[in-house]
Amino acid sequence: MRRRQLLATVGTLTAGTVGCVGRPGDLGKTPTSEPPPRITETSFTARDGECGLDTDVARVTVDGDIVRIDGRLLTPTPCHGAVLADATLVSGGDRLVVAVRTTDSPPDVCVQCVGELPYEALVRIAGGQPATVQVDHDGETVTTVTTVDR
């Protein structure tokens, strides 16, 4: 009698788990077949500085898989330079953060005024566009632009 009761209980428990092949932590997750967006290429061009207007500016445009940033970086003097310090996709590819940094000026004599360096940064992204693009100049956010509605 106990054997029949045991077999009936095991059969019921087993039938209740048929088709359950998930792993721990998968509850509530929807499987996706597409990988997250990734950066495939970057380029950066800074032009000669000039005395500026004391305003950091960055304009973002998106054309297909290219994110283009046209900016003006404020520097202590127009003799300083600029570099692309980082371009990173965060939040699963939903946000592109582009960091531009001032470089040291050469040891030559330079006019004493606030400098403004025009630059262009290009970031090629495969696998879809980020929802937002954030541009930082020397650690300070200059602009955040929504590029696509999700």
Q: pLDDT per residue over 51-64, tens digit each? A: 988 788 999 999 99
CB atoms within 10 A of CB 62: 17
Instruction: Report angle CA 142, 143, 144 to the nearest 5 degrees.
Output: 140
With pLDDT > 90 as the criterion, what percentage of the chain qualifies? 57
Mean pLDDT confidence for 82-100 = 95
Answer whether residue 29 shows pLDDT above 90.
no
How many Å apart are CA 32 and CA 118, to the nearest integer?
41
Count of beta carbons in the 10 Å neighbourhood of residue 122? 15
Rounded to a whole number of angstroms, the distance between the first and last alpha carbons of the chain is: 61
> What's the pLDDT at 66?
95
pTM: 0.74
Tell me the mean pLDDT in the region 81-100. 95
The yes-or-no verdict on residue 33 having pLDDT over 80 is no
Average of pLDDT values for 116-133? Answer: 95
Highest mean pLDDT among 5-19, 25-39, 104-118: 104-118
pLDDT score of 150 more than 60: no
- Beta partners for 81? 103
Nearest in space to 69 (alpha carbons), one of 41, 47, 100, 110:
100
